[in-house]
Structure 1
Amino acid sequence: MDNPIEHLQQHLSKLTEAQRKVADYIIKHQLDVAFLTVDQLAREVQTSTTTIMRLASNLGYSGYTEFQKRLQENLRNQSAPNTRLAANIKGMEEDDLWGKYAEHQIANIQDTVDMISREKLEQTQQMIVSANRIICTSVRSGLPVVQYLTHGLNRLFGNTNLIVADLSDWVDNIVDMNENDLVIVASFPRYARRIIDLAKTAQANSVPVISITDSYSSPIAAHSNLVLPCNSSSIAFHNSAVSSLFVADYLVSALAINYSEQTKGRLDKVNAILTDMDYHSVRRTD
């Protein structure tokens, strides 16, 4: 049985702008879409039923009904593992802000897992491993994500630098990069113009771009070779970095495990230096 969400993600680049808007809504609201009629979905997305029907047809389904049936089957197969956890959190008191926050972030992470396929994660790892130089960049709420990613990737490969786009003259860094390098950007609402300009310039120089953003309809997606959508909603006013940090941490862990032969030598050397520093910094008390 095919996974309609993965199928949708794999065909995003071939969709029209209107169809991408529908696809983005489906990916982020799978449970709702599984029980919406085509007319109801059209109203939710503010598009036409014709656009939705054409989307289903472009994905290889006979129509919206068949797509929805596959989506329902996929959701049934996924629902069992987190039933206990969801039930425990649902039992918390209404005034338990900590519990509500945990519930919200768990839902965010699950949304993110649903939106990013294993194939896309594997492709991300291959692009990182193949790059001669890597630049990670963001501003504001995306900055902790790329800071964490820069530290992890540089520890593994020694070829990654951080650019704070609002503070750095990034043109000097991008101008010498080529198709053998890589730019990783994190961009969340309100999307910074400077980040979009950086990604656009990188692609103009044939530099591959991976974006970590909140949706496939994000303006940064149009200037990215690969998009990793992460649910950034919070229970307050801000963009939450929890889901995107979850993805960043996964990538660092997966690269260390899947490419251990390439990373072990460097990690051993770094560890030896840090261990020696710790040893000599401890004063003897006897």
Structure 2
Amino acid sequence: MNDPILRLTEKISNLTASQRKVADYIIKNPMEVAFLTVDQLAGLVGTSTTTIMRLTFNLNYSGYSEFQKELQELLRNQAAPHTRLEANLKDVPESDLWIRCVDRQISNINKTKEMISNDTLEKVLELITSSNRIYCTSAKSGLPVGQYLTFGLNRLLGNCELIIADQSDWVDLLLNLNSNDLVIATSFPRYARRIVDFVSQAKESGVKVITITDGYSSPLIKYSDIVLPCNSGSLAFHNSPIASMVVVDYLISSIAINYPDKTKVRLDKMNDVLTKINYHYNNN
């Protein structure tokens, strides 16, 4: 059986803006879409049935019906984990804000896990470990993600810089970028224009771009070589970075564990320096 969600993610960069909007909705709501008519889906997304049909043709399906049939089959094969999760959360009191908040983040993490494949993560790791310089750029709610990733990559590789897109004067930096460099951009709605400006200009220099964002309707998608879609919903007004932080933590951990030839010497030297300057508090 072909995986229609995987097909969507693989071909997302070749779709039109309106088709990406449909694809983004399908990826985030596969169980709902599996039982919607094409007219219902068009109404929910705010597009035409023609756009949806063209999307399915681009995915090499004969039409929406064949696409939906494969989506239903995919969900049937994945039904058990979803059923267990729903059962675990079923009896949580609506009045308990703390529990509801935690459950929301668990849901965000699980949905993010479903949207990102191992193959995609392997490609991300290869780009990170083979790049000359790495620039993490973010702003507002995405800033904790960029800061954490910059710290982790710098500790391991020593070649990462944080660019706070809406505060930094990054124009001079653009002059030195080349195809051996990598930009990792994190942005959630409402998307910061300065991040889009920085990424678009960096792309013109041949830089590879990895984007951490909430979905495939993000304006950064058309400049991205690899997309890591992360659910960012919260119970309140804000975008939550929690699922993205889990993805970033995986990247840092995986590089440390799987690339010891690139990281061990640097980590040992760092530990020696911190020990010599008595950096850490000692209870003894």
TM-score (norm 2): 0.93
1-side partners of 2:84 and 2:224: how far apart? 38
Larger displacement relative to structure 2 (89-98 or 123-132): 89-98
Tell me the equivalent position of 1:221: 221
1-side partners of 2:93 and 2:231: how far apart? 25
Shift, 1:216, TM fit: 1.0
1-side partners of 2:283 and 2:118: how far apart? 48
The verdict on how the C-alpha distance between 1:86 and 1:278 changes in structure 2, with shifts beyond 3 A counting, is: farther
Shift, 1:46, TM fit: 1.8
2-side partners of 1:60 and 1:54: how far apart? 10
Structure 1: segments with no counterpart, 5+ residues: none
The verdict on how the C-alpha distance between 1:280 and 1:25 changes in structure 2, with shifts beyond 3 A counting, is: closer
Tell me the equivalent position of 1:48: 48
Q: 1:130-165 CA deviation, whole Å, 9 max, x = no partner?
A: 110111111111100000000111111110011212
1:100 aligns with 2:100: yes
1:206 aligns with 2:191: no
Task: Please tell me whether the aligned partners of residues 27 and 114 of structure 1 are also in contact (alpha carbons under 8 angstroms).
Answer: no
Tell me the equivalent position of 2:129: 129
The verdict on how the C-alpha distance between 1:70 and 1:213 changes in structure 2, with shifts beyond 3 A counting, is: same
Tell me the equivalent position of 1:14: 14
Task: Please tell me whether the aligned partners of residues 182 and 207 of structure 1 are also in contact (alpha carbons under 8 angstroms).
Answer: yes
SS for the counterpart of 1:56 is: helix
The verdict on how the C-alpha distance between 1:85 and 1:274 changes in structure 2, with shifts beyond 3 A counting, is: farther
Q: 1:15-50 CA deviation, whole Å, 9 max, x = no partner?
A: 222211111110011110011111111111122222
1-side partners of 2:114 and 2:280: how far apart? 48
Q: Equivalent residues in 2 for 1:7-156 (5 A)?
A: 7-81=7-81, 83-156=83-156
Shift, 1:92, TM fit: 1.6
Q: 1:177-233 CA deviation, whole Å, 9 max, x = no partner?
A: 100011111111121111111111101111112111111111122222222111111
Tell me the equivalent position of 1:197: 197
Tell me the equivalent position of 1:167: 167
2-side partners of 1:81 and 1:238: how far apart? 28
Tell me the equivalent position of 2:258: 258
SS for the counterpart of 1:143 is: helix
SS for the counterpart of 2:184 is: strand
The verdict on how the C-alpha distance between 1:10 and 1:281 changes in structure 2, with shifts beyond 3 A counting, is: closer
1-side partners of 2:201 and 2:276: how far apart? 43
Task: Please tell me whether the aligned partners of residues 89 and 99 of structure 1 are also in contact (alpha carbons under 8 angstroms).
Answer: no
Task: Please tell me whether the aligned partners of residues 13 and 222 of structure 2 are also in contact (alpha carbons under 8 angstroms).
Answer: no
Tell me the equivalent position of 2:158: 158
Larger displacement relative to structure 2 (216-225 or 74-83): 74-83
SS for the counterpart of 1:269 is: helix
Tell me the equivalent position of 1:249: 249
TM-score (norm 1): 0.93
2-side partners of 1:79 and 1:278: how far apart? 53
Whichever residue aligns with residue 164 of structure 1, its letter is I
Q: 1:77-136 CA deviation, whole Å, 9 max, x = no partner?
A: 223235444423221212111111122112211222222222221111111111101111
Structure 2: segments with no counterpart, 5+ residues: none
Shift, 1:277, TM fit: 4.0
Shift, 1:252, TM fit: 1.0
1-side partners of 2:279 and 2:238: how far apart? 42
Percent of matched pairs sharing the same residue: 60
CA root-mean-square deviation: 1.9
2-side partners of 1:35 and 1:69: how far apart? 9
The verdict on how the C-alpha distance between 1:63 and 1:168 changes in structure 2, with shifts beyond 3 A counting, is: same
SS for the counterpart of 1:219 is: coil
